[in-house]
Amino acid sequence: MFSLNRATVIGNLTRDPELRYTPNGQAVASFAIATNRRWKNQSGEMQDEVQYHEIVAWGKLGEIANQTLAKGKKAYIEGRIQTRSWEGPDGAKRNKTEIVAENLIALSPRDNFGQTGDSDFLSEAQESPPETKKPGKTDSSPSGSKSTAKKDSDEDSLDDNSEIKLEDIPF
């Protein structure tokens, strides 16, 4: 028989990822994601519900999670559901259900230092690529506008259609 164990969540991190290493040197990051659900009840009032999901990312994926994710930032997590059982120091049996991440995408924008930023808005530098001057062309931009020139060797390989715009990126 066919079976499937797949979980996909998009939400905000409730804490920074905690990166640890097993005794044999394998990285493991743990963090939690909060997902929100909003609906109208029978009387027409809006209801909100928050679910918290424990996430575990192993190996290189754990190291990437530690570097790219931060508390409050939005992330897409895909993986499988796993329940662990153990006996606590008081002798009581404990269970924990978590998502073992197999794929993750940081959905919040990055700041200028490569870390996820505090704002969900793109800065002016991120919204449009810098303009470049081509050899033999005059600068027709109005005074006071921002433009940057590339090295001469890079300019020779550019043509008029080589500018990449954020609207052209398919994701």
Question: The domain that contains 72 carries what CATH number?
Answer: 2.40.50.140
Question: What's the pLDDT at 168?
Answer: 61
Query: Residue 9 and residue 63: Cα distance in Å, rounded?
Result: 20
Put simply, whether the predicted model's pTM sits higher than 0.85 gets the answer no
Domain identity same for 143 and 75: no
Residues of the chain below pLDDT 70: 110-171
Question: What's the pLDDT at 1?
Answer: 87
Please count the structural domains in the chain: 2
Burial class (CB in 10 A: 0-12, 13-18, 19+), 41: exposed
Question: What's the pLDDT at 124?
Answer: 33
Residues spanned by the domain of 137: 128-171
Question: What's the pLDDT at 37?
Answer: 94
Domain identity same for 72 and 132: no
Domain identity same for 76 and 40: yes
Which residue in 33, 29, 28 sits closest to 15, CA to CA? Answer: 33
Domain identity same for 22 and 67: yes
Domain identity same for 85 and 135: no
